[in-house]
Amino acid sequence: MPFLTEAEPRRGVATEVVSGVRRIVARNPGALTYHGTNTYLVDLPDGVAVVDPGPDDAVHVAETVAAAGRPITLILLTHTHVDHVGALAALQAATRAPVAAWRQPSLTGFRPDIALDDGVAVGGITALHTPGHAADHVCFAMSAADGRAVLFSADHVMSWSTSIVSPPDGHMGAYVRSLDRLLARADDLYLPGHGPPLAASLDLVRELRAHRLGREAAIAEALRRRAVASIPELTADVYVGLAAHLMPMAERNVLAHLLKLAEEGRVERDGVAWRALS
């Protein structure tokens, strides 16, 4: 797949990615976060909206507030994984801005000030429920100042890598259906949760979908050959040559595929192992 790379971004600097939208990258690089979580600053008539405060990092919060240059009047969450929501409490304390997020958040004890339904707009930005990577994952759609159709694709479609789908919050069937939803749209630019901006490409979305279903077919075939197998065995069969430190994440994807196959009546759990049914 045609993934993008970029040099490590300047820390503490907000860079314009499209007219009226700037990106500041948090200092949380890693195997799942690339150079770090993208926090976006969106110009509104009455201030600035922040899309994803990022990880719990006082320096990043201070830099976000300073980079805004105007009052932060709204905070939008794409989902409640810690690398996106960790800084929320500190940012709200600094700005008193209300937070808008999916109406059924996955984070225990968290309730947004503005509970979003699918298709609801706030600050001229429309929520699209795209579960899969997380049950409460939403993308945000808006028209940039230059007229381009922008989608904050967060961790649903990223420019640098595929997404992890880790049950129980992650659901592979929902992830594929959410990819289908993007295929029915006509966006110009994706702004992911990690990695550089991506010219919206339905070809890439189709490749992501085909990659997932191809991986699923490989898992089903490996299980058919073995008849009964554990997740580590299937992961070793399918993710040949994968670095050892990435294997635990691959096992979560395999589990997500197996659960989808079980919902379709093609496999069943057999204790700690799995059994092929067809």
Q: 253: domain CATH number?
A: 1.10.10.10
Dump pLDDT digits (tens) for 120-175: 999 999 999 999 999 999 999 999 999 999 999 999 999 999 999 999 999 999 99
Sheet order of strands, 21-25 included: 15-18, 21-25, 38-44, 47-51, 72-76, 99-102, 114-116
Assess if residue 182 is contained within a domain. yes
Is 104 in the same domain as 74? yes
Q: How many CB atoms lie within 10 A of CB 117?
A: 11
Residue after which a domain boundary falls, among 152, 175, 200: 200
230 pLDDT higher than 90: yes
Closest CA to 72 of 105, 101, 95: 95
3-class DSSP assignment, residue 20: coil
- In the predicted structure, residue 2 carries a pLDDT above the cut 90: no
- Shared domain for 247 and 150, answered yes or no, is no
37: left (phi over 0), alpha (psi -120 to 50) or beta: beta
pLDDT digits (tens, 9 = 90+) for 234-267: 999 999 999 999 999 999 999 999 999 999 999 9
Picking from 200, 225, 252, the residue at the C-terminal end of a domain is 200
Look up the domain containing 125 and give its range: 15-200
Following CA atoms 223, 226, 228, 230 in sequence, which dihedral angle do they give, to the nearest 10 degrees? Answer: -70
How many structural domains does the chain have? Answer: 2
Q: How confident is the model at residue 273 (pLDDT cuts 50, 70, 90)?
A: very high
Whether 83 maps to a domain, the answer reads: yes
215, 82: one domain: no
What pLDDT band is residue 200 in, cutting at 50, 70 and 90?
Answer: confident
CA distance 100 to 164: 24
Residue 176: its pLDDT value, please? 98
From first CA to last CA, the distance across the chain in angstroms is: 30
Domain-ending residue, one of 171, 200, 229: 200
C-alpha dihedral over 196, 173, 242, 246, to 10 degrees?
A: 70
Give the tens place of pLDDT for each residue, 70-106.
999 999 999 999 999 999 999 999 999 999 999 999 9
